[in-house]
């Protein structure tokens, strides 16, 4: 079994400036704060977590226009931060943003080969 798919919504808790890989690919690092109520074993449970994320290419450029506190829904896959670490990072391949950007109110879907 090779499934590794994640979909998570929340608010941007932190967003770093857009940077570029040595190959010239846009790269954006951020932290996503998630809060929800989930049902587990028949009981409602309050869930709160924060996860590191990275977006590349078109998704990175689009997400770089968002601000801390912007609500987003992202999907992608999990990988280690680096080969020597067990810390997980969410690699985003698609993002939907619903909120304010530097250019006003948005409600858009951003897709790419993140």
User: What is the model's pLDDT at position 57?
Assistant: 98
User: What is the model's pLDDT at position 108?
Assistant: 53
Q: What are the CA-CA distances from residue 53 to residues 72, 87, 97 (Å)?
A: 12, 11, 15
Instruction: Count structural domains, the chain.
Output: 1
pLDDT tier, 1 (very low <50, low <70, confident <90, very high otherwise) = confident
- C-alpha 42, offset from chain centre: 29
85 domain residue, yes or no: yes
68 domain residue, yes or no: yes
User: What is the model's pLDDT at position 98?
Assistant: 74
For the chain, give the number of residues.
114
pLDDT in tens, 66-82: 999 999 999 999 999 99
Domain with 73 in it: 6-111
Where residue 88 sits, what CATH number does that domain have?
A: 2.40.50.140
- Closest by alpha carbon to 5, among 79, 62, 63? 79
pLDDT in tens, 10-62: 999 999 999 999 999 999 999 999 999 999 999 999 999 999 999 999 999 99
């Amino acid at each position: 079994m090779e499934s590794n798919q994640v979909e998570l919504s929340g608010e941007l808790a932190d967003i770093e400036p857009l940077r570029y890989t040595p190959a010239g690919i846009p790269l954006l690092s951020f932290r996503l704060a998630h809060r929800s109520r989930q049902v587990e074993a028949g009981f409602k449970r309050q869930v709160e977590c924060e996860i590191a994320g990275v977006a590349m290419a078109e998704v990175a450029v689009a997400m770089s226009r968002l601000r801390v506190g912007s609500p987003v829904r992202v999907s992608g896959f999990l990988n280690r931060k680096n080969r020597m670490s067990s810390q997980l990072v969410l690699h985003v391949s698609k993002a939907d943003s619903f909120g304010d950007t530097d250019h006003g109110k948005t409600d858009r879907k951003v897709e790419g080969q993140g």
